[in-house]
Every structure is written in structure tokens, then in C-alpha cells.
Amino acid sequence: MIQYAVRRLLLAVPTLFGVTLLVFSMVRMLPGDPAQAMAGVHATQEYIEQVRRTLGLDQPLHVQYGRFMIGLFRGDLGTSIRTGLPVSREVWSRMVPTLELTLVSLFLATFFGVAVGVISSTKPYSVFDYTSMFGALVGLSAPVFWLGLMLMLLFSVRLGWLPAAGRSGPINLILPSVTLAASSVALVARFTRSTMLEVMRQDYVNTARAKGLRQRAVVLRHALRNALIPIVTIIGLRFGALLSGAVLTETVFAWPGVGRLMVDSISARDYPVVQGAVLLLALAFVVINLVVDLLYGVVNPRIQYD
Amino acid sequence: MARKVLLLACVFLVGLAAWAAPKPGGEMVIGFGTDPESLDPNKITSAPAGMVLTHVAETLLLMTEDLKVAPLLVENWTVSEDGLTVLLYIRKGVFFHDGAPLNADAVKVNLERFRTATYAFLLFPRVNTIDVVDEYTVRFNLDKPFAPLIAHLTHNFVAIVSPKQIAELPAGKDILEPVGTGPFKFDAWVRGDYVRLVRNGNYWGDKAYLDSVVFKVIPSDATRLVLLETGQLHAMMRVPPLDASRVAATAGLELLNIPSVRTIYIAFNYQKAPFTDVRIRQAINYAVDKEAIVKEVLGGVGGVSDAAIMPLVFGHAGQEPYTYDPEKARDLLKAAGFPNGFKCTLYHPTGRYMMDAAVAEAVQAYLAEVGIDAKLVTMEWAAYLAYLRKPQPEATFDMFMLGWGCVTLDADYGLFALFHTSEWAPVGSNRSFYSDPTVDTLLDLARVVSDPVGRRATYASLLTYLWKDAPWLYLHYEGQLNAQRTVAKDLIHHPREYILAHKAWLDQ
């Protein structure tokens, strides 16, 4: 398994190399000029050219890419055009809040999604099933902006129970993580329900029941375990989606995460920061995929890594 | 009886004084939309960054909220008769937060550093050399008179930081934690979250009442308002116009409608037919109901333009408005050979200025009424700016919407870069390729006339000329819709789009 993990990590190198090439060329394909964006609406051409030279943006593209890659091998992601700070510091300081938010949301999505899905599948077409699946549909379709503001109005303005926004303590995590998790809880719940319903029809479940096992043991030990592989896959995918899709939640709740940093940096055509952030997110995706693949083996010992 | 009345009166007066007297202490939290890009005077380019910096690092001269130039780190100044020498007399007994004294050397070091900065080309275009005359006197030597210089020294980007900090700064690095002379000292900056400043107990002037002030970054307007309502903020910038009446009606909140120095206009491509014909340009000015746009689209925030600069700017002279008159517009179009109107494109930003896309749509509808079929094109801001910086033969646009904040409050800053022929894009900001010898002469003249009365008269003639020539569809100047909790006292909401906490206090 360790060998497998190492091989997968090594295989990630060409993937990440491809990402650098893609993101490097894509940000440069955007219309707009970072030197102009940095110098502002009032700047003269002379000053813009000066900024361009200072930033090394007057160099041919392959030279810029070469510099970027050399820096990367040295662990240097470059310097932000907008703020003049090292990109690694900028991105990492904003990655931490995003990770906090994403991990809590992922926990909520997994715990509530699986629980609701399992209960619904054991009582199909019951009131609980209909209500929870309708709730899941609402959770999937509610726009994050709307849901965030509604939760804020209810729990902060009306009831005064929770702080509306900002990141001053753990309590501040509740509203944004619930908002971010809503669609994932819904998706995981619906997915768990349908997978469980399929599994529950299998012969080995009937055998377990025939053995006289209690419903709880049948569901948790025999059915859920076999349903877990697709569920783990969808949770892994959601993790990636949460990580890269937190920008709206971050904006509504003034959460200083990497999503907002990326949007601000794209607006300012801050190429190094966009490159750095995308690269880090791509790395996170690679790691998540690997972890999901390794989890398959834990969930189902018949899966061999060679 | 008389004694009783006197006693009661005394008690009332003491009570009144206690009620009105500022209370020291506390932390005030101010919400705004964009994280400062930097806190280094050499690097900053935006109003939010200027707002935070000005609490820590002071300018040489001050632009008060009623837009008068007042002494600050410079106590007094003189301009020679030929306008080529400016002497600045620096305040004595002022120290930076790190203990370094403020003197002529410190000012020179800062100004020399600033001459390499983003905005130096606009603020100090004619300064040749800067000399230290004695310990507390600095001299600017100019190659040509430049009357706006004094106003430009009030610009918040020309903030003075400790010479020690500059000396110790590694080459190529920016200042992250500015050390100035201001009433607040830098404390912490969590990127994308907040900047916190604490009271400077050794401030040379009237000390701040607050223990600390926090500038909190909240990108969503709606969230900012919720935070103000729940008391997590004491003041905020940019109330969404749709929420204005609700804020005004909420107990404990105050809505403030403050003018801004930004003028919003739609410029015509002056070199492209049919906009080369003044009748077409005037027709468009008559065709659009600016009053209705300000009232209905902007919710009454701001005002209709009566010149190319807004009324608070030095040199402003109000003109006879182009009153909404579609009939007159049609007549002018007919006279210009377009009785059935024509097709054109109108470029506009979305989300950059207050209700910009909605304003563009309103303009489109008004133009359609007189037969002009304007196609709207919008772009993301960075792409938009790049698009509008093409050299003349490549620039194929017909009309574009843009705003210009005249932050120095002097007409030169608001007119020269936009109308002088030498400023044609891509060199400068004359993106509509306006060119007129009379305008060029008047703009040059206003720079060298040092007598304020003469300058005013020059700008008045210039603005009248520009009004009649109609190089723009003159729209409106923006307003700022801010709000604060009633416990927040004596905050200054400045037309430069700043909220200043220098003298603020909390009544709680």
C-alpha cells in the first residue's frame, strides 16, 4: 500500500506540471493587463511600462514560464503583483481559513448526509423519507447567497444567537459551514439513500436477516459497509468541490479564505497569486483522490493495491 | 427662588456637558468592502488603503472634510512669485511612533522615495529637485510653475513614514507595518479580514479618544449591513441604495448621504463619425434625462453633473444644464444628417460604480427614444481598462462609461489627464481622443497661474467651453451612502470616500 501511495504521488508530478502549464497560459489568455490593473485607472502609459518591467512582464512568455518553474523547484511561488508579498505566504495564510471551513462542512455533510440517507433507506416512502428527501432537494437548489443571508437574518438579526460574519472564534464557523455544507448534505443523503436501497435488495442482506440479526446490525454492518465505496467516492468529490467552491460562502460571511483571494487576484490580474493558489488547490485534489483510493482498501479489504 | 433657578440651570449645564463630552476608550469597528492592497505609501493605489494609512501616517497638509487646505505636518508654506520655488515649514516637536523626530531630512527622504511611486507622475509632475534648507524647511524646485502642488500635498498617498523605517527597509521590499506620526499606531493586519490600529498616547496634537479602531473587510454590501444592524460594526461604507429607507427608519442607526468627488460620464470617441459633429454630441446630452437617472436609478444619491468636475472641486463653475428635451435632440440629429438616428455601441463596466449597468441601460432606453440604437457591451474591469487604453487608430468604440475621482479636489487633477491632447491614450487617460487647441491652452494656463482668482476664472472659461463642446454625455457625480450606529460619535465621512476615526468616540 505504501508502495502504491508513493507511486501515485510520483504520478502526480506530471499532473501538477500540466496544471502549471495550463494555469500559466490561461491567466495570460485573459483580456486585461496586470500592469494596468496594478497602476490603476489614472496611470500613464509610461508608468504602466515601468510597472511591466519591474514585474518582468515585458519578457517573452517562455522566459516568464521558465522563471516561474525555476522558482517553483526552489519552493518559491513568486511575489504577488498586487501586494508585493511572497505568494506562498499569501496563499497559505488564506488557505487555513478555507481548510477550517471545508473540513467542518465535510464533517457535517458526511455525518448528516449518511445518517439521513441510511434512515431514509430503511424506511422508504415514509413521512421521514419524503420530508428529508424534499429537504435535500431544497438544500441542493438553494443558492448559497440566499441561504447564507437567510440564516444570518434568522440566527443573528432575529434571534441574536450567532455572530453574523467574520472569523473571530469557533462560533463564527457555524453559519458559514452550515451554508457551505447544505448542498453536500443533500447530495450525500440522496446518494446514500439510493445506494443503500440497492444494497438492501441483495441476497447477503436477506441472508443476514434470515440469520436473525437485528435490523441495526443488518443495516450498519452488512448493508452500509457494502454501500460505502460509492459514498466515499462522492464524499471525496464533494471535498474538492467544497474546497474550490467556498468562494461564495466566503464572500457572504466575510471569511478570509483562499477562494476570495483567488477572485480578487483574478480581478487584479495578479498572475503569481492565481498560479500559486490554483497549484495548491490542484495538489489538494491529487491528495484527496489518493486518500479516497486508499480508503477503498480500508472499506473493502478485497481491494488490493499493486 | 432665583438661586434655585440658577442652581437648576447649573445642574442642567453640567449634565449637558457630561452628556456631550467625548468618552475615552473602547474599540470602534468600521466595515468596508475591499482589503487594502498595501499600507506602503509608495505602493497604494486605492481609497480604502488611503483611508487606513491616513490614521497612521499623516500627510504634510490636510484636506479638511469641508475641503479646505489646512496645516498638518507642515505648519506653513510659501510659493515664490514666479511659482518655481515652494518652501514648506515643518512642524517642530513631532515624533514618529518609533521615536524618530520629524524634520526636513525625514520629509525629503519620504518625498524622494515617493517620486518613484505609482502616483508621483500625477501629483508632482513639475518638481525638479527637493532640497533641505534647514532643519525644519524643505524647498521644492520646479521647472515650470505647477499651481495644484499645494493641493496635491494633501493627497493621502503622500503620507510621511519614519525615515528609520525607510532606511531599514530591505531593497525591493514594501512597508508592511507603517510607522508614521498619526493619532493611531499600526497594530495588526490579517489579510482579507481586518486592520487594527491602536491609540498613539504620544500624539503631537489632540489625542484620539478611542483605544483602538478596526477596519473590517466585508465584501458583501448586504452582509455589511447585517453586521451594522447586529452591532458587530459601528459604521459602514456603501449601503445598498435599495436598503436606504430601511436603514433610515431603524432606531439606533443613522444613514448618511455624503458627496463623493467622483464624476461619472459617458465619453464619445471624438475622432470617430458621427461623434465628430458637436450637434450629435449635444443631441445625446439632450436625449437623456439625468435627473430621472439620479432620482430613480441611484435613489437620489449624488447629483446631476453641471460641469466636467463636481461642485466641491476647486475651479468648479456650474453650467446651464442640458435639460431633458427629446424633441430638441431629434432636431439636432436631423440637422446633423441623421433624422432616423444611427447605430452605435456603448461600453460600460458592471459593478464598478454605483448601479453602473442600470445607468447604462437607462441611457440606452433614452437614446432609443430619439432613434439611436445603442448596443450595450460590458466587460470585467481589468479587461475593460485594457480595452479602453488602445491607441487612436485601433480604438473603434463609439461611447464608453467611466468615472474619475478628483481626489486632490483641484480641477487640474480632474481635467488635464482627461482632455489635454498630450494625454491621449495609451500615453495618458484621454481615452476619448479629445483634442481642442483652446482647451489645451486653458489647461496649460491654469497650471501656471498661481493666483487663485485667476485660476478660477481660467477653469470657468474652460468648463463653459467643454460644456458647449459636449465631449461627454455629462451624467452625474456619485454620492456615498454610509451608515453608522448612533453610539458612534464624531466620525468623519470624507468626500474622498474615507471614514476617519481621528476624533471619534463611543457613547456607551
CB atoms closer than 10 angstroms to residue A215: 10
Cell, residue A246? 467556498
The alpha-carbon gap from A254 to the nearest alpha carbon of chain B, in Å, equals 5
pLDDT, greater one: B184 or B113 = B184
Cα-Cα-Cα-Cα torsion A70, A71, A73, A77, nearest 10 degrees, comes to -140
Selecting from A36, A38, A167 the residue whose C-beta is nearest the C-beta of B193 gives A167
pLDDT, greater one: B244 or B200 = B200
pLDDT in tens, B292-336: 999 989 888 899 999 999 998 999 999 998 999 999 999 999 999
**Rounded CA separation A252/A264 (Å):** 15
Q: Do B217 and A32 touch (CB under 8 A)?
A: no
Predicted pLDDT of residue B8: 55
**Residue B229 touches chain A, beta carbons under 8 Å:** yes
**Residue A162 touches chain B, beta carbons under 8 Å:** no
Predicted pLDDT of residue A306: 61
Cell, residue A78? 513568486
Q: Give percent above pLDDT 70 in chain A.
A: 98
Q: Give percent above pLDDT 90 in chain B.
A: 62
**Rounded CA separation B486/B482 (Å):** 13
* pLDDT of A143 higher than 70: yes
Contact B176, B189 (CB under 8 A): yes
Is the Cα dihedral B116, B121, B123, B125 positive or negative?
positive
Task: Provide, for chain B, the percentages of residues in helix, strand and coil under a 3-state DSSP scheme, each rounded to the nearest 5.
Answer: 35, 25, 40
pLDDT band at A247 (very low <50, low <70, confident <90, very high): confident
Average pLDDT over residues B381-397: 84
Q: Which residues of A touch B427 (CB under 8 A)?
A: 44-46
Judged on CB neighbours under 10 Å (0-12, 13-18, 19+), A188 is: buried
Q: Which residues of A touch B402 (CB under 8 A)?
A: 41
Average pLDDT over residues A125-148: 87
Region of residue B68 (phi > 0: left; psi between -120 and 50: alpha; otherwise: beta) = beta
The alpha-carbon gap from B466 to the nearest alpha carbon of chain A, in Å, equals 20
Average pLDDT over residues B200-211: 95
**Rounded CA separation B210/B34 (Å):** 23
**Residue B176 touches chain A, beta carbons under 8 Å:** yes
Predicted pLDDT of residue B290: 96
Contact A261, A277 (CB under 8 A): yes
pLDDT in tens, A4-45: 888 888 888 888 889 888 888 888 887 777 787 777 666 777
Q: Which residues of A touch B118 (CB under 8 A)?
A: 39-40, 43, 47, 51
Cell, residue B30? 468600521
CATH topology (fold) of A87-299: MetI-like fold (1.10.3720)
Q: In terms of Cα–Cα distance, which of B120, B293, B96, B76 is closest to B204?
A: B96
Judged on CB neighbours under 10 Å (0-12, 13-18, 19+), B173 is: exposed
| DSSP-assigned beta bridge partners for residue B426 | none
**Rounded CA separation B420/B404 (Å):** 15
Q: In terms of Cα–Cα distance, which of B98, B67, B262 is closest to B166?
A: B98
**From the CA atom positions of chain B, what is the Rg in Å?**
25
Q: Do A84 and B218 touch (CB under 8 A)?
A: no
pLDDT band at B488 (very low <50, low <70, confident <90, very high): very high
Stretch 128-157 of chain A: residues touching chain B, C-beta under 8 Å: 149, 152-153, 156-157
At residue B370, what is the residue type? V
Predicted pLDDT of residue B146: 86
Furthest-apart CA atoms within chain A: distance in Å: 84
Stretch 14-43 of chain B: residues touching chain A, C-beta under 8 Å: 35, 37-38, 40, 43
Selecting from B121, B226, B423 the residue whose C-beta is nearest the C-beta of A156 gives B226
The alpha-carbon gap from A30 to the nearest alpha carbon of chain B, in Å, equals 8
**Residue A165 touches chain B, beta carbons under 8 Å:** yes
Selecting from A43, A165, A261 the residue whose C-beta is nearest the C-beta of B227 gives A165
**Rounded CA separation A149/A16 (Å):** 37
pLDDT band at B9 (very low <50, low <70, confident <90, very high): low
pLDDT band at A281 (very low <50, low <70, confident <90, very high): confident
pLDDT, greater one: A245 or B434 = B434
Predicted pLDDT of residue B6: 52
Which residue out of A83, A265, A266 would a mutagenesis test of the B interface target, given it has the greatest number of B Cβ atoms within 10 Å? A83
* pLDDT of B291 higher than 70: yes
* pLDDT of B384 higher than 60: yes
**Rounded CA separation A85/A12 (Å):** 28
**Residue B119 touches chain A, beta carbons under 8 Å:** yes
pLDDT band at B115 (very low <50, low <70, confident <90, very high): confident
Stretch 409-438 of chain B: residues touching chain A, C-beta under 8 Å: 417, 423, 425-429
| DSSP-assigned beta bridge partners for residue B346 | B376, B399
Q: Give percent above pLDDT 90 in chain A.
A: 8
pLDDT, greater one: B81 or B469 = B469
Predicted pLDDT of residue B61: 94
Contact B477, B259 (CB under 8 A): yes
Q: Do B383 and A32 touch (CB under 8 A)?
A: yes
* pLDDT of B2 higher than 60: no
**Rounded CA separation A203/A195 (Å):** 15
- Which one-letter DSSP state was computed for residue A172? G
Q: Which of A292-296, B16-20, B441-445 has the highest mean pLDDT?
A: B441-445
Q: Do A164 and B192 touch (CB under 8 A)?
A: no
Q: Do B45 and A90 touch (CB under 8 A)?
A: no
ipTM over 0.95: no
Q: Where are the domains of chain A?
A: 87-299
pLDDT in tens, B355-373: 899 999 999 999 999 999 9
Stretch 55-94 of chain A: residues touching chain B, C-beta under 8 Å: 82-85, 90, 93-94
